Amino acid sequence: MITKEKETAREARPRETTVEFFASFAGVLVTGLFIITFILQAFEIPSSSMEDTLLIGDHVFVNREQFALPTRWIGPLMPYRNIRQGDVVVFLSPSEHGLFVVKRIIGIPGDRIHLREGVVYRNGKKLDEPYVRYKDGPNSEYTRSYRENFPAVAPGTSNLTPDWESSLPKYVDGEDLVVPPGNYFAMGDNRNVSYDSRFWGFIPQENVIGRPMFMYWSFTTPRDQYEKHSMGDRLGFLAHIIIHFFDETRWSRTLKVVQ
């Protein structure tokens, strides 16, 4: 039973006006745009170099702020930290202008890195890398020897960028590659197909965009889809997504954290 006092209180409660509703909506919209613009950014995984951690067609949100230089006005509120060994990062390619790439950090400044028979050693210790896969890739005798015994095998393959081929020797000390200040050494989890620091060099700190946080959507995508740029190909794949959204979405990967 509702008492007269409760009815009076309910009637006295002011209702939200149309102007107040739109003001609240605008506030939510502005907050969302701020987060998407300055804190989170959406990326799609185009290649198999990070399988099985990240699959072709995974769509991820990237934290743009975590590895950024702290700012005075918002610094205390943000969880800034330095890049660590093992972090998965998105960055601008040092070798291809405007290309966004995702790899795993293997070496930070000062680390000494080498590979023997495909096994990574950092500062003299063999790494335990449960995330690594060895799927099919370029298997010429030289390419295989170079990628699995880096940097012991001397450069001399067209897979290396010219700048890296010429500068690589100055970073080699004994059997190790030494990571210089302000740079990082990165590799893909799918080691046999990953075009990474072994082939184009270090990642400058300023090229790092952020850390992938989680997948908001994953859709089964052909391996060569990222190479198709014509309007017809794009519209055709869009139609394919609309038709097969439910049966080709990888629902089990939704909201999966990237590690």
Cross-strand pairs, 101? 91
Q: Quick one: DSSP state of residue 85?
A: T
> CA 108, CA 217: separation in Å to the nearest integer?
31
Q: Is residue 3 part of a domain?
A: no
Q: Is residue 229 part of a domain?
A: no
CATH number for position 72: 2.10.109.10
User: How does 82-115 read in b/e, with b if 16+ C-beta sit within 10 Å?
Assistant: ebeeebbbbbbebeeeeebbbbbbbbbbebbbbb
pLDDT in tens, 35-93: 455 567 889 999 999 999 999 999 999 998 878 665 555 545 556 789 999 999 999 99
Nearest-CA neighbor of 224 among 57, 112, 103?
A: 57
Q: Is residue 133 part of a domain?
A: yes
What is the side-by-side strand order in the sheet with 100-107? Answer: 40-44, 58-63, 208-218, 88-92, 100-107, 183-187, 203-204
Q: Is residue 187 part of a domain?
A: yes
Q: 9: pLDDT confidence band, cut at 50, 70 and 90? A: very low
> Residue with structure tokens 């400044």?
109
Tell me if 178 sits within 8 A of 110, measured CB to CB: yes
Q: Is residue 188 part of a domain?
A: yes
What is the model's pLDDT at position 215?
A: 95
- E strands, 149-207, are 172-173, 176-178, 183-187, 203-204
Structure tokens at 257: 């954290």
Find the range with the poorest average confidence among 10-24, 115-129, 225-239: 10-24
User: Strands 119-122, 125-126: parallel, antiparallel or unpaired by DSSP?
Assistant: antiparallel
Q: 5: pLDDT confidence band, cut at 50, 70 and 90? A: low
List, in order, residues 6 or more apart from 163 with CB less than 8 Å away: 95, 201
Q: Is residue 31 part of a domain?
A: no
What is the model's pLDDT at position 73?
A: 52
Domain span at residue 70 reads 40-218
Tell me if 46 sits within 8 A of 65, measured CB to CB: no
Q: Is residue 159 part of a domain?
A: yes
pLDDT in tens, 170-225: 999 999 999 999 999 999 999 999 999 999 999 999 999 999 999 999 999 998 88
Task: Count how many domains the chain has.
Answer: 1
Amino acid in the structure at residue 202: F
Predicted TM-score (pTM) of the model is 0.81
Q: Is residue 230 part of a domain?
A: no
